[in-house]
Chain A
Amino acid sequence: MNLIDIFSRQRKTSLISLGLMLMILPWIISHGFESGNSYLRAFDMALLFIMLSLGLNIVVGYAGMLDFGYIAFYAVGAYTYALLNSPHLQALLPAWMMYPPFIVSIILAAGIACVFGIMLGGPTLKLRGDYLAIVTLGFGQIVRIFLTNLDRPFNLTNGPQGINNIQRVHLFGLDLGRPVQILGITFEPVHLYYYLILFFCALIVVVSLRLQDSRIGRAWVAIREDEIAANAMGLNTRNIKLLAFAMGASFGGISGALFASLQGFVSPESFIMMESVMVLCMVVLGGMGNIPGVILGAIIVSITPEILRDVINPLQMALAGRKVVDPETLRMLIFGLVMIVIMLVRPEGLWPSSRRRAELKPQTKGIALQEKDDMQDAERNHD
């Protein structure tokens, strides 16, 4: 199943109905459940995670590079937004730099994250497989440690406390931090943010689809499939891989900025390595390299713990008549088990791309492998 088809004329109706459903979804959720608004928040987060996993999908799913520090770009985006839109640096920065229009903040966040992506990718792209994984992991840690400690010698990030009082988004004269009345309907901030994030999420889905179906997307996949052959076909593999890193990073930056604006504060807590791991899980569980699959993975991984949160206590009471174990612990335990079971049952992901199901199968290719290694070494020595 290919999402591209959805955009063709025949699928237009289904696209419209999907859009409508997404538009009224927040109303169903916030009125249908007791704790509806907190579910809606979970949905906002899920949308952010969809954006993140689509970004990581470019790096891992298309270009085939294992990235364990992806959340760093999310952090960079979030802090960029936070610093520009909170009183924290007001004394340091000239007034014209503070509180830029929303869209400028977003572009800056994407741009700076992109620069970080290039900084990380530039020196490390020569590394292969697990070595790249561990270097990206280290990079993620470095960013987080700097965020935690850059309150001295001068206070840039405000250390572990993080940055508070991030201004709510103002867009087209609307303050998204307050309920708005349109046509007699009251839109709570949580609804307004849902639409804002949904918009960006849709944007990123479209960008992903278009990239996938372009010469750039093909080049990424070609490199993943066989880097030597890609090289021999005239692809500048280093630049194309760097581009994957940069694109992935800017997606991360955008969702980070939205996260900061939604949350109202940012702190290093939100950017621990476990988050990188979670995003990676979304991509792999859903089906690497397949956009609908990745979206599904993001929804499952981000929503499941929220649902478990509400299910576990009543369940414990019903089964045992008392609280046997801490629900927080139990829900994470179940979550871990779910991950294991899904992978055991469907190792290629829940919704793998139909044409790339055979992807990354371990092959013992013997001579061909040796030849590939020789060539890569020869190249490396030359560099």
Chain B
Amino acid sequence: MTEALLEINGIHKRFGGLHALNDIALTINKGEIYGLIGPNGAGKTTLFNVLTGLYQPDEGKFTFNGRDLFRQKPYVVVESGIARTFQNIRLFANMSALENVMVGRHVRSKASVFGAILRPPSARKEEANIRIRAQELLDYVGIPQHAEELACNLSYGDQRRLEIARALATDPKLLALDEPAAGMNPKETEELKALMQKIRNDGVTILLIEHDVKLIMGLCDRIAVLDYGKKIAEGLPEAVKSNPRVIEAYLGVAPE
């Protein structure tokens, strides 16, 4: 039943003297929502960047879906099926929402320069499909009405959704979300939660960094806790919640 999708082992990442990731190992199973929490500066985003190919780890093992992705370029990582969003939204600000999602289809389409210039039927068909798929995804995340608007003119919550749609456009097996609920009001957070569950039910595994403990606890199947670049706990939400090391990391003191 549980089949490993992503496996990392002994991952290290150093920035000069800073040991940002120290011997991290974790396994994400197919179909689960896996939470990653930790205090600020614990290395969550660094781990995220390693997993999505933006950072190259110094040492360790990184396999995804049976493929070795250690020190691979981001485009190889995306092509293998990992897509991400950013903590501080990074949309293509001056492109329309639809175009943003269409860029996400890049890795799943192949028209060359000649295809683009000569426009043979195959290229036309591909382009039409890109457009259709992008519109579908906007529907899927709930912002079809904003297709022609510039990304920078969307509301904050809609930008978050657009980023998810753009990531989904790459047909990921693992969707990595970096604090998607940051800055959202409770209603938006609730909607986001529903969206994530919908995505999971449609067969996409989710890796989630989040500060909102309530959201994490109510959503995730398993959780890992990072502190000072080390994994200090992993397991079911309830177990992690009562783990003394986790409480210490968050509150700064050991519980009585």
Contacts and interface: CB of A to CB of B under 8 A. Distances in A.
A contacting B, Cβ–Cβ less than 8 Å: yes
Interface of A: 207, 210-211, 214-219, 221-222, 225-226, 228-236, 243, 247, 355-359, 367-368, 371, 374-375, 378-379, 382
B71 interface: yes
A229 B55 contact: no
Contacts, number: 124
B67 interface: no
B116 A214 contact: yes
Nearest to B94: A356
Contact of A207 (B49, B74, B105, B117): B117
Given A355-B94, A378-B54, A229 B86 contact: yes
A375 B55 CA distance: 7
A233 B56 contact: no
Contacts of B77: 234
A214 B119 CA distance: 9
A341 to B, nearest CB: 26
B106 A235 contact: yes
B130 interface: yes
A226 B90 contact: yes
B164 interface: no
B127 interface: yes
B46 to A, nearest CB: 10
Nearest to B108: A234
Nearest to A360: B94
Given A215-B106, A215-B127, A371-B88, A232 B113 contact: no
B147 interface: no
Interface in B102-149: 102-107, 109, 111, 113, 115-117, 119, 123, 126-127, 130
Contacts of B99: 218, 221
Given A215-B102, A232-B78, A371-B88, A221 B95 contact: yes
A211 B93 contact: no
A236 B92 CA distance: 16
Nearest to B169: A233
A279 B104 CA distance: 33
11 contacts: A214-B115, A214-B116, A219-B103, A232-B52, A232-B90, A233-B167, A234-B77, A234-B106, A236-B75, A371-B88, A378-B49
Contact of B150 (A210, A221, A355, A379): A355
Contact of B107 (A210, A234, A359): A234
B55 A226 contact: no
Contacts of A379: 54, 56
Interface string B34-64: 0000000000000001001111100000000
A216 B92 CA distance: 15
Which 8 residue pairs of A and B lie closest in terms of their CB atoms, listed nearest first?
A234-B78, A234-B107, A214-B116, A225-B92, A229-B90, A382-B56, A356-B94, A222-B103
B23 interface: no
A144 B89 CA distance: 45
B170 A233 contact: yes
Size category of the B interface is: 35 or more
B103 A233 contact: yes
A226 B137 CA distance: 21
Contacts of B92: 221-222, 225-226, 229-230
A368 B87 CA distance: 9
B233 to A, nearest CB: 27
Contacts of B105: 215
Given A207-B117, A233-B166, A378-B55, A214 B103 contact: no
Nearest to B118: A210
Nearest to B54: A375
Contact of A235 (B54, B86, B90, B103): B103
B103 A210 contact: no
Given A214-B111, A216-B116, 11 more contacts: A211-B116, A218-B103, A229-B92, A230-B103, A233-B103, A233-B104, A234-B107, A356-B94, A358-B94, A371-B88, A378-B55
Contact of A218 (B15, B94, B102): B102
Contacts of A214: 111, 115-116, 123, 127
Contacts of B116: 210-211, 214-217
A232 B91 contact: no
Nearest to B163: A229
Interface string B8-52: 000000010000000000000000000000000000000001001
Given A355-B94, A355-B150, A375-B55, A247 B75 contact: no
A38 B139 CA distance: 58
Contacts of A367: 88
Contacts of A222: 92, 95, 103, 106
A68 to B, nearest CB: 24
A374 B96 CA distance: 28
Contacts of B84: 232
A189 B99 CA distance: 46
B221 interface: no
Most chain B CB neighbours (cut-off 10 Å) among A221, A226, A233? A233
Contacts of A355: 94-96, 150
Nearest to B85: A232
A247 B113 CA distance: 9
B93 A358 contact: yes
Nearest to A240: B106
B234 interface: no
Contacts of B123: 214
A185 to B, nearest CB: 34
A225 B104 contact: no
